Amino acid sequence: MGLESEQSRLLLSKIATSDRHGENSPYFDGWKAYDRDPFHPTNNPQGVIQMGLAENQLSLDLIEDWIRKNPKASICTAEGVNEFKNVAIFQDYHGFPEFRKAIAKFMSKVRGGRVTFDPERIVMGGGATGANELVTFCLADPGDAFLVPSPCYPAFGRDLGWRTGVQVLPFQCDSSNGFQVTKKALEAAYNKARENNINVKGLIITNPSNPLGTTLDRDTLVELVSFINEKNIHLVCDEIYAATVFNSPNFVSVSEIIQDMEYVNRDLIHVVYSLSKDMGLPGFRVGIVYSYNDLVVQCARKMSSFGLVSSQTQHLLASMLSDEEFVENFLKESSKRLAKRYNTFTKGLEQVGITCLKSNAGLFFWMDLRRLLKEQTIEGEMELWRVIINEVKLNVSPGSSFHCSEFGWFRVCFANMDDETVKVALDRIRVFVCRGKEEDEQQQPASTVNTKRWKTNLRLSFSSRRHDHQEGVMSPHMMSPHSPMPHSPLVRART
């Protein structure tokens, strides 16, 4: 029909037709499986449990409680509607001063008061997604590169590179030292890029780490800061999980480090923050760019016009985050609940012989299933992953989606479900692992070097596909907005 051929002739931009949006990857299979068959304790107890979404649902009741007790903070209530007009017309890209002050204070509290933040440096972004893209637009040109230690957040490729044209270059960290970033690895990556004529503009780190759930120690941070200072490249620290630290060691922010490093050029240091993880408010789109570079603050502020925080939301949060008592209690309680949830899971897994990377932060743990792989390759990992989704019915995220060079690691989110669901998830894992052990014992005498943990007679209800990035475009009708389950995530940020 004429329409189709006309559509193909009517070109869109290169950015539009590229696939740097990242949605063509095979990792969407897990999401699809969840969307098609989402777990519900009563309506669908056999459904897939969502453990691929790094959300913090454990402490929303505290926030709700505050909102109920503070009707004035909302412009929709009788008590607060008198502020409606002032709030509704406020589109100044500086943001409400009260909002900036409250955010600066909150950021400081999250760091135990060990550092203070200047409200004049607070710039808004459309969530951390918007903030990361915004700061990249300020720091790098198309073709420039940012280094990032892997395993890393899968959407960095999109956030830092899709519309900016900047390259995102992951460099490997592995389990030999608990996946810690080392100056050696960073330097090697930097040199390699330079040898290939790539203009490295900066380094981006996530601290606490997604997907590892670990925090960087002071010495490593100092090394990283010294390195970027020496090479005169930028350092972007994505600290969006700062308040999810639930165990020692304490969180050390780059902001603290530079206080004791007088010689460092502060124009190279930029922090990205958000309330999506620490407070569990991803819907509110509160992203923050905090730069120590005046020019970047000025430029970023102008650019923030493309992704300001709704004044209604600024108004509510300005009030909430200035309530010092509430904030202190929230941070303490949230930490406690995360610790409890983490312990429940890791202990439960230990009982069936599954270990995780020792971590102290985040909304997930980094699970080690290397010994369950048929082969230590990406195909092996993907095969195991498909079994976990389709047989065990858990949507977890395979390490390869985080650019992890070692196969067999999986990120498992634990803060986006209630206690009942936790039990079900643990039970399923136990059953799966034990079934593997049983069949092992039945079929193989003694131990052999290549003991396989599950047998080929386990039906793969999912036809195994090759690891193929060219798989079908995600057209709108596949992401049905009409999912029967109210919590079905559709296509959210894959984090």
Catalytic residues: 153, 238, 240, 277
For residue 23, how many other CB atoms are within 10 A of its CB? 16
Does the footprint of other proteins cover residue 85 (CB under 8 A)?
yes
Does the footprint of other proteins cover residue 449 (CB under 8 A)?
no
Q: Smallest gap, in angstroms, from Cβ of residue 372 to other proteins? A: 32
Does the footprint of other proteins cover residue 487 (CB under 8 A)?
yes
Q: Smallest gap, in angstroms, from Cβ of residue 127 to other proteins? A: 7
Closer CB to other proteins, residue 85 or residue 347? 85
SS (H, E, C) the chain: CHHHHHHHHCCCCHHHHCCCCCCCCCCHHHHHHHHHCECECCCECCCEEECCCCCCCCCHHHHHHHHHHCHHHCCCCCCCHHHHHHHHCCCCCCCCHHHHHHHHHHHHHHCCCCCCCCHHHEEEEEHHHHHHHHHHHHHCCCCCEEEEEECCCCCHHHHHHCCCCCEEEEEECCHHHCCCCCHHHHHHHHHHHHHCCCCEEEEEEECCCCCCCCCCCHHHHHHHHHHHHHHCCEEEEECCCHHHCCCCCCCCCHHHHHHCCCCCCHHHEEEEEECCCCCCCHHHCEEEEEECCHHHHHHHHHHHHHCCCCHHHHHHHHHHHCCHHHHHHHHHHHHHHHHHHHHHHHHHHHCCCCEECCCCCCCEEEEECHHHCCCCCHHHHHHHHHHHHHCCCEECEEHHHHCCCCCCEEEEECCCCCHHHHHHHHHHHHHHHHHHHHHHHHHCCCCCCCCCCCCCCCCCCCCCCCCCCCCCCCCHHHCCCCCCCCCCCCCCCCC
Closer CB to other proteins, residue 1 or residue 446? 1
Q: How far apart are the first and last CA of the chain?
A: 40
Does the footprint of other proteins cover residue 491 (CB under 8 A)?
yes
Per CB under 8 A, the list member of 5, 42, 78, 472 interacting with other proteins is: 78
CA dist., res. 272 & res. 101, Å (int): 16
Does the footprint of other proteins cover residue 127 (CB under 8 A)?
yes
Instruction: Give the footprint of other proteins on residues 352-381 (CB under 8 A).
Output: none
Q: Are 388 and 410 in contact (CB under 8 A)?
A: yes
Per CB under 8 A, the list member of 55, 239, 278, 368 interacting with other proteins is: 55
Instruction: Give the footprint of other proteins on residues 312-331 (CB under 8 A).
Output: 312-313, 316
Per CB under 8 A, the list member of 67, 261, 339, 485 interacting with other proteins is: 67
Does the footprint of other proteins cover residue 310 (CB under 8 A)?
yes
Q: Are 354 and 368 in contact (CB under 8 A)?
A: yes
Does the footprint of other proteins cover residue 7 (CB under 8 A)?
yes
Q: How many residues form the binding site for other proteins (CB under 8 A)?
A: 93
Per CB under 8 A, the list member of 29, 35, 133, 391 interacting with other proteins is: 133
Does the footprint of other proteins cover residue 197 (CB under 8 A)?
yes
Does the footprint of other proteins cover residue 485 (CB under 8 A)?
no
Closer CB to other proteins, residue 148 or residue 216? 148
Per CB under 8 A, the list member of 185, 242, 296, 415 interacting with other proteins is: 296
Instruction: Give the footprint of other proteins on residues 231-260 (CB under 8 A).
Output: 232-234
Does the footprint of other proteins cover residue 341 (CB under 8 A)?
no
Per CB under 8 A, the list member of 3, 262, 468, 469 interacting with other proteins is: 3
Using the contact rule CB under 8 A, the part of the chain among 54-62, 105-113, 359-367, 422-430 near other proteins is: 54-62
Instruction: Give the footprint of other proteins on residues 100-119 (CB under 8 A).
Output: none
Does the footprint of other proteins cover residue 282 (CB under 8 A)?
yes
Q: Smallest gap, in angstroms, from Cβ of residue 240 to other proteins? A: 13
Q: Smallest gap, in angstroms, from Cβ of residue 447 to other proteins? A: 46
Using the contact rule CB under 8 A, the part of the chain among 41-49, 180-188, 288-296, 388-396 near other proteins is: 288-296
Does the footprint of other proteins cover residue 194 (CB under 8 A)?
yes
Per CB under 8 A, the list member of 45, 118, 141, 455 interacting with other proteins is: 141
Per CB under 8 A, the list member of 30, 151, 307, 399 interacting with other proteins is: 307
Does the footprint of other proteins cover residue 87 (CB under 8 A)?
yes
